[in-house]
Amino acid sequence: GPKVLQIPSHQIIDMGQMVTLNCDPVSNHLYFYWYKQILGQQMEFLVNFYNGKVMEKSKLFKDQFSVERPDGSYFTLKIQPTALEDSAVYFCASSLGTGDYEQYFGPGTRLTVL
Amino acid sequence: GDSVTQTEGQVALSEEDFLTIHCNYSASGYPALFWYVQYPGEGPQFLFRASRDKEKGSSRGFEATYDKGTTSFHLRKASVQESDSAVYYCALGEQGGRALIFGTGTTVSVSP
């Protein structure tokens, strides 16, 4: 099936540093998402992005977070500065539409903030 | 807000056993309901969906029927295999919404 790629698979950084997580969504998809999963807990929605704009974000999407997709390249999640509680696996997803359209997920980036 | 509840946290079965995972939802509108499966080290994979009352979704021997009356979307498989060992998530897509709301997940372990 369609593949979403995420780079890197693991990232270890010191608290206070900036980190950028990269996602290569399915080529013809229009909607892009980030989800956060702390080890052993459920997947939680962070943000979704369409036509160059944030459409919806959750309370987990702190002011230190930002997303963009410059010129159709990677869809990125930037955290600046990072905090210890940002340690989690971050999943990117994409879809053709919303509502009852399925979302396709990448393999995740495991972020460890020391 | 909308939510999804999965009753079973962990299920241990033997091959050829019958699997049931209970999923109940709470939503103000008429959501789409999904099942996703997640294998170790991977992201969730779409299994199937249902969008209206009494609709049955199915894939790979798994099935679930949308029941608006009992607000449920229980996952069933008649005869599991060791390769079905994974974490299963029930999820809700709000009408006109964009985020998927996931349940807490059910870890299924199938022994040969």
Share of chain A above pLDDT 90, in %: 81
CB contact under 8 A, B89 and A99: no
Q: Which residue of B has its CA nearest to A93?
A: B43
Share of chain A above pLDDT 70, in %: 100
User: Mean pLDDT over all residues of chain B?
Assistant: 94
Answer for the pair B47, B35: CB distance below 8 angstroms, yes or no: yes
Q: How many Cβ atoms from other residues are within 10 Å of residue B82's Cβ?
A: 12
Q: Which residue of B has its CA nearest to A33?
A: B99
pLDDT reported for residue B96: 66
Greater confidence (A42 vs B47) lies with B47
On chain A, the residues whose CB falls within 8 A of the CB of B97 are: 56, 98-99
Classify B57 in phi/psi space as left (phi over 0), alpha (psi -120 to 50) or beta.
beta
CB contact under 8 A, A99 and B96: yes
Contacts 24+ apart (CB under 8 A), A55-63: A55/A31, A55/B98, A56/B97, A56/B98, A56/B99, A58/B99, A60/A36
When pLDDT is averaged across residues B79-100 and rounded to a whole number, the result is 90
Measure CB to CB from residue B43 to each of A48, A99, A105 and give the nearest one: A105
Q: How many Cβ atoms from other residues are within 10 Å of residue A57's Cβ?
A: 17
Answer for the pair A91, A82: CB distance below 8 angstroms, yes or no: no
Residue A40 pLDDT class (50, 70, 90 cuts): confident
Dmax over CA atoms of chain B, in Å, equals 43
| pLDDT tens-digit series, residues A50-105 | 999 999 999 999 999 999 998 778 999 999 999 999 999 999 999 998 877 899 99
B35 pLDDT above the threshold of 90? yes
Q: Is A2 on the interface with B (CB under 8 A)?
A: no
CB contact under 8 A, B96 and A108: no
> What six digits make up the tokens of A106?
């990448």
Question: Which strands, in side-by-side order, build the sheet including A75-79?
Answer: A5-7, A19-24, A75-79, A65-68
Q: Is B96 on the interface with A (CB under 8 A)?
A: yes
Q: Is A94 on the interface with B (CB under 8 A)?
A: no
In one-letter notation, the amino acid at residue B62 is: F
